């Protein structure tokens, strides 16, 4: 039914407002209609509560009785910090619930729909399911693969370099591209770099778009050799933005306000890091802005889901650092990139790719978790943007 898709599309739109702010919960949107008119809307609020259905029901008030509810993820049916959303919907007297995607959480999966049906509420599932799964790909990953959705961003010159072999601006891409990247930061739970990037660039890794400063993701540094120092900006600002170091060496100096998470070493170190981020911090969406070594290792370990390539119309020439170092993969085990979106910011080009692998090294049944497409966002060109790394 066209009307179902129309209102579910609206629910998906409001759901996006929660991306980067609601982990470990999913970003859910809810639209309530009565007589074909919207009477309530809501989305998951910061910290993951209250849930979208609760917000929308409060917004609708008495108009929720006999209404149709459009929700992007199956309503929860278990008691947590708040009561079940299924109970709230039943008590509000709604007549019909349209669900985009089933919840992969074992506590809910199928049970939420069953509870509504048993209460005599009509339920329809699968409306814009693919779009809903794409939106909450991080939540699906955390439940099905025990790791976050991992997006890698690289900014390069036309000849594939991530640094310029000349004096002057340290930036490769222009200010409009960098503003778009800051928006991506705000839509992720955590941002990761390696210790070499910290030493070389001394980045802040926050979001400085006006109005989104509080949406800066938590910051994560892979540091196995104690390269992070007190004078680095990440350490100096660790009291205001949560900053974590993942390491397999517990003997390094502990820096003030920086939180250390010890991870088992070996060849599976990076995979263990991702598991720790999800299990201990609840991270569902990870944005990686590391250098060539970290990015290559993530690709080698099949730990990249989405790839963002920002390309400037300039040439670095000999001496610039390579974006990707020697991957060293067999031809049959290489990764493949499917372009899902392309956009231009002045002379820069930004392309987004879904990443798949010819051979799966993991025994997890990844068929249960769809390959999700990246969700596009518009560029914020507010002149108040403070430009630095």
**CATH number, domain at 270?**
3.40.430.10
User: Which string of DSSP letters, residue by residue, matches 43-60?
Assistant: EPPGGG-S-HHHHHHHHH
Q: Are residues 130 and 166 in the same domain?
A: no
**Torsional class of 128: left (φ above 0), alpha (ψ -120 to 50), beta (otherwise):** left
Q: Are residues 116 and 150 in the same domain?
A: no
pLDDT, residue 385, reads 37
Residue among 299, 297, 300, 226 nearest 260 (CA): 226
Q: Are residues 308 and 337 in the same domain?
A: yes
Q: Are residues 17 and 166 in the same domain?
A: no
Selecting among 53, 74, 131, 302, the annotated active-site residue is: 53
pLDDT, residue 341, reads 96
- 53 among known catalytic residues: yes
Q: What is the 3-state secondary structure (H, E, C) of 228-270?
A: CCCCCHHHHCCCCCCEEEEECCCCCCCCCCCEEEECCCCCCHH
What 3-state class would DSSP assign to 357? strand
**Using the 8-state DSSP alphabet, how is residue 322 labeled?**
B
pLDDT, residue 184, reads 97
pLDDT, residue 372, reads 39
- Own/partner pairs for 259-268, CB < 8 Å, 24+ apart? 265/224, 268/301
- For the annotated binding site for substrate, the residues are 185, 205, 208, 289
Residue 362 lies in a domain: no
Tokens 């708040």, residue located: 82
Domain boundary among 139, 164, 198: 139
Q: Are residues 72 and 170 in the same domain?
A: no
The residues pairing with 73 across neighbouring beta strands, listed in sequence order, are 101
**Using the 8-state DSSP alphabet, how is residue 161 labeled?**
B
- For the annotated binding site, the residues are 51, 76, 85, 155, 169, 171, 185, 197, 201, 205, 208, 289
The residues pairing with 262 across neighbouring beta strands, listed in sequence order, are 247
Interatomic CA distance for residues 143 and 151, integer angstroms: 17
Domain boundary among 101, 119, 139: 139
pLDDT, residue 80, reads 74
Residue 74 lies in a domain: yes
Residue 373 lies in a domain: no
> Quick one: CA torsion of 222, 224, 226, 232, rounded to 10 degrees?
-10
What residues in the chain have per-residue pLDDT under 50? Answer: 329-332, 361-388
105: tokens are: 């959480």
Residue 42 lies in a domain: yes
Residue 378 lies in a domain: no
Residue 67 lies in a domain: yes
Q: Are residues 269 and 133 in the same domain?
A: no
Q: Are residues 160 and 132 in the same domain?
A: no
Answer yes or no: are the C-beta atoms of 320 and 164 closer than 8 Å.
Answer: yes
Residue among 144, 361, 136 nearest 271 (CA): 361
Q: Are residues 88 and 165 in the same domain?
A: no
Q: Are residues 217 and 348 in the same domain?
A: yes
CATH of the domain at 72: 3.40.140.10
Residue among 60, 26, 61 nearest 43 (CA): 26
Domain boundary among 139, 156, 190: 139
Residue 367 lies in a domain: no
Q: In the chain, how many domains are there?
A: 2
Q: Are residues 123 and 227 in the same domain?
A: no
Residue 371 lies in a domain: no
pLDDT, residue 371, reads 43
Domain assignment of residue 282, given as a range? 146-357
| Residue 235, C-beta contacts closer than 8 angstroms, at least 6 positions apart | 228, 229, 243, 255, 256, 257, 258
- For the annotated binding site for Zn(2+), the residues are 51, 76, 85
Q: Are residues 111 and 188 in the same domain?
A: no
- For the annotated binding site for NADP(+), the residues are 155, 169, 171, 197, 201
Q: Are residues 245 and 186 in the same domain?
A: yes
Strands (E), the chain: 29-34, 37-43, 68-73, 96-101, 122-125, 149-156, 190-194, 218-222, 243-247, 259-262, 285-288, 306-311, 335-345, 348-357
């Amino acid at each position: 039914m066209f009307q179902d898709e129309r209102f579910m599309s609206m629910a998906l739109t409001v759901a996006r407002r929660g991306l980067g702010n609601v982990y470990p919960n999913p970003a859910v949107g809810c639209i309530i209609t009565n007589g074909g008119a919207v009477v309530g809307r809501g989305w998951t609020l910061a910290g993951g509560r209250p849930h979208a259905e609760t917000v929308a029901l409060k917004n609708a008030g008495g108009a929720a009785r006999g209404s149709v509810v459009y929700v992007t993820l199956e309503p929860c049916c278990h008691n947590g910090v708040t009561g079940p959303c299924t109970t709230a919907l039943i008590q509000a007297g709604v007549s019909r619930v349209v669900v985009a995607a089933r919840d992969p959480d074992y506590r809910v999966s199928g049970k939420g729909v069953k509870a509504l049906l048993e209460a005599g509420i009509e339920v329809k599932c699968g409306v814009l399911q693919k779009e809903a799964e794409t939106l909450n790909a991080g939540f699906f990953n955390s439940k099905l693969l025990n790791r976050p959705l991992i997006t890698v961003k690289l900014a390069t010159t036309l000849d594939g370099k991530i640094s310029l072999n000349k004096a002057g601006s340290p930036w490769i891409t222009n200010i409009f591209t960098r503003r778009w990247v800051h928006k991506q930061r705000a839509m992720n739970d955590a941002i990761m770099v390696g210790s070499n990037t910290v030493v070389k660039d001394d980045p802040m890794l926050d979001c400085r778009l006006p109005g989104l400063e509080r949406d800066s993701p938590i910051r994560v540094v892979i540091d196995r050799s104690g390269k992070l120092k007190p004078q680095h900006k990440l350490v100096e600002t660790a009291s205001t933005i949560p900053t974590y170091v993942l390491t397999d060496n517990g003997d390094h100096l502990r820096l003030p306000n920086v939180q250390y998470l010890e991870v088992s070493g070996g060849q599976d170190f990076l995979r263990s890091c991702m598991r720790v981020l999800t299990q201990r911090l609840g991270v569902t969406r990870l944005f990686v802005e590391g250098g060539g070594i970290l990015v290559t290792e993530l690709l080698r370990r099949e730990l990249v889901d989405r790839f963002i390539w920002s390309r400037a119309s300039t040439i670095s020439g000999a001496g610039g650092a390579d974006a990707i170092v020697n991957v060293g993969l067999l031809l049959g085990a290489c990764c493949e990139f499917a372009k899902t979106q392309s956009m231009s910011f002045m002379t820069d080009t930004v392309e987004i790719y879904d990443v798949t692998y010819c051979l799966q090294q993991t025994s997890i049944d990844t068929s249960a978790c769809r390959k999700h497409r990246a969700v596009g966002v518009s560029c914020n060109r507010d002149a108040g943007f403070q430009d630095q790394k």
